[in-house]
Amino acid sequence: MANLLLDLANYTITQGIGISGEVFYNDVPDSPNNLITFLEYAGRSSPISDFGLRSVQPNIRNESSEAARIKAWALYNLFHPNDIEDSIIFLTATRWTKISCRNEPFKLKEDESHRTIYVFNMGVLTHKDS
């Protein structure tokens, strides 16, 4: 079974928000300058034992502050559909998720290379990885 962060990264690429070679997970490489990466942080357990409620933070970095902001909002809108019927997202044929965006995208910082980083936080309910 694939890992959740990999599934999120691949889904982002297949939906046209990111491109291969610029979408990562569990890592924030120094290059390329423009990227999306998915990082997991401590979450809370699900009351249903077969599922996990995971905490994920997409990081969107770009040399252009405006481009980072636009891509962050595109990613947020991908994972935060307006229609309740679209709230269950199938990342793969076997991986469903119920994603709750905990906040809207915001500028986290400008790094030492003058690249702007936007982030937002998501709660992701899905089956446990094996």
Q: State the pTM of this model.
A: 0.90
Q: Which residues does residue 98 pair with via DSSP β-bridges, in sequence order?
A: 88, 125
Mean pLDDT, range 67-90, rounded to an integer:
87
37 close to 68: Cβ distance less than 8 angstroms:
no
What is the per-residue pLDDT across 18-36, written as a single tens digit (0 to 9) for each?
A: 999 999 999 999 999 999 9
- Domains, the chain, ranges and CATH? 4-127 (3.30.2000.10)
Confidence of residue 53 (pLDDT cuts 50, 70, 90): confident
- Using the predicted structure, report yes or no on whether residue 59 has a pLDDT greater than 50: yes
Taking only the tens place, the pLDDT of each residue in 80-122 is: 877 665 678 999 998 999 998 999 999 999 999 999 999 999 9
Kindly state the greatest CA–CA separation across the chain. 44
Angle at 9 between CA 84 and CA 92, to 5 degrees: 60
User: In the beta sheet, which residues pair with residue 61?
Assistant: 35, 117
CA 108 to chain CA centroid, nearest Å: 15
Q: Which two tokens stand for residue 127?
A: 């089956």
Alpha-helical (H) ranges within 27-92 are 65-79
Record the tokens describing residue 69, joined without a space.
């902001």
**Integer CA distances (angstroms), 129 to 6, 19, 23, 53, 95, in order:** 11, 25, 21, 12, 10
Highest mean pLDDT: which range of 48-52, 57-61, 120-124: 57-61
* CB neighbour list of residue 30: distance below 8 Å, 6 or more residues apart: 113
pLDDT reading at 1 higher than 50: no
More confident residue, 127 or 26: 26
Token reading at 60? 């969107």
